Amino acid sequence: MDAPVHLCRHADRANRLANYLTGKGARKGDRVLIRLPRVPEWQIAMVGCNKIGATPIACVTMLTKRDVSYRLEHSRRRGGGDDGARDRQDHRRRQGPAQRRRGAGMG
């Protein structure tokens, strides 16, 4: 069973992100690249950007490095967010099958 969703908690997190982005200099009309997997934080990030009038640029972690580079180069973004999932996935691909099964090198 899924955990209950508390919308006031999501609203608080979106507000905190909006305040963080504003503190970093983001403002209305700016583009902010958001790279996250399919998690609730993805929607929170979109709302946080919208709260300050910034345009969120969705960038799921399944994109290749080439796809991400293209978006970074052509989006004229002001800032961006990344949970590091792509780097962890790339690290696991470079490991051998036995290391992946044991989870070696992950931390």
Which CATH number characterizes residue 25's domain? 3.40.50.980
Confidence of residue 80 (pLDDT cuts 50, 70, 90): low
Q: Does residue 100 belong to any structural domain of this protein?
A: no
> pTM surpassing 0.85?
no
Q: What is the mean pLDDT of residues 28-45?
A: 88
CB 76 within 8 A of CB 52: no
Range of the domain at 88: 7-94
Q: Does residue 23 belong to any structural domain of this protein?
A: yes
Q: Does residue 101 belong to any structural domain of this protein?
A: no
Helix (H, G, I), strand (E, B) or coil at 85: helix
pLDDT at 62: 84
Q: Does residue 102 belong to any structural domain of this protein?
A: no
CB 36 within 8 A of CB 60: yes
Q: Does residue 41 belong to any structural domain of this protein?
A: yes
Could you give the number of structural domains in the chain?
1
Angstrom distance (rounded) from CA 10 to CA 40:
9
Q: Does residue 104 belong to any structural domain of this protein?
A: no
